[in-house]
Structure 1
Amino acid sequence: MTTEAIVKTEFGALYLKKLCRHFAHKIPATISGSQGRIEFPFGPCRINVNDEQMHLHIEVDDAAEMDRAEQVVAEHLIRMANKDEPTVKWIRNNPALENTAI
C-alpha cells in the first residue's frame, strides 16, 4: 500500500535536507540531488523535489500503519517549513482493493 502527496512549495530542496538530516539521527536517511529516502519502521518514504513542489511517497506493509506514516511525515514537514506554510494532502493507493471485483 502506498500514499502520496504533492506539496506546493518553492523551498522543497531546503525542506528535503531538513527532513533527512533530522531523521538521520535515528534512522537511515539519504539525499542525492533532488531526491531523498527515509527508512521509517513502518516503511520507506521517498521524496522528490523541484522548483515548485515536493512529491512525497510512502510505502507501508500494514494498513494499520498508514495513518501513522502520513501523520509523522506531514507533521515534521510542516514543523520544519519556516519559509512558507505547505499543505499536505495524502492520496492512498491500495493495490489489493483495485483487484477486488465488485
Structure 2
Amino acid sequence: MHTAQSSFQTKNASRYLQQLCKHFSHKVDAQYDDTAGRVDFEIGQAQLAAFPDRLEFVARSDDPDGLQRTKSVLEDHIIRFAFRENLSGLSWSD
C-alpha cells in the first residue's frame, strides 16, 4: 500500500471536509461527519480529518499511479473549494 499525507492550514476545515465528501459522494462511496471523512475512489482511498486550525489528508492506493491520481483529485478539489484562501497547492509527504 502506498500512502501520502498533507495538510492545509485553515479555520474552515470542517466545512471543507464536509463539502469535499458530499461532492465526492455523488459518484463514489463517501462517509463523513464534522471532523472525519473517508472517500473510496476506484483508484485509491482518502481520509480527511478536520482540526480547529487545519485540514489533514491521507491518500492511499495499491500502486504509485493510483496514489498520484488520488492526490491530484484531492488537491484539485480543495484548491477549487478553498479559492478564498489563496491555496495554490498541497505539499505531500510520501
Normalising to structure 2: TM-score of the pair? Answer: 0.90
Q: Distance in 2 between matches of 1:30 and 1:72?
A: 17
Q: How many residues align?
A: 92
Flag as ranges the 4+ runs of structure 1 deviating above 6 A.
none
User: What are the Cα deviations for residues 72-97 of structure 1, in whole angstroms up to 9, with x where unaligned?
Assistant: 110001101144123411111xxxxx
Q: Cα offset for 1:6? A: 1.4
Query: What value does the CA root-mean-square deviation take over the aligned residues?
Result: 1.2
Structure 2 gaps, min length 5: none
Q: Cα offset for 1:42? A: 1.4
2:43 matches 1:45? no
Q: Distance in 2 between matches of 1:67 and 1:33?
A: 27
For 2:31, give the aligned amino acid.
T
* Residue of structure 2 in register with 1:88 after alignment: 90
Percent identical pairs in the alignment equals: 26
Structure 1 gaps, min length 5: 93-102
Q: Distance in 2 between matches of 1:35 and 1:85?
A: 24
2:67 matches 1:66? yes
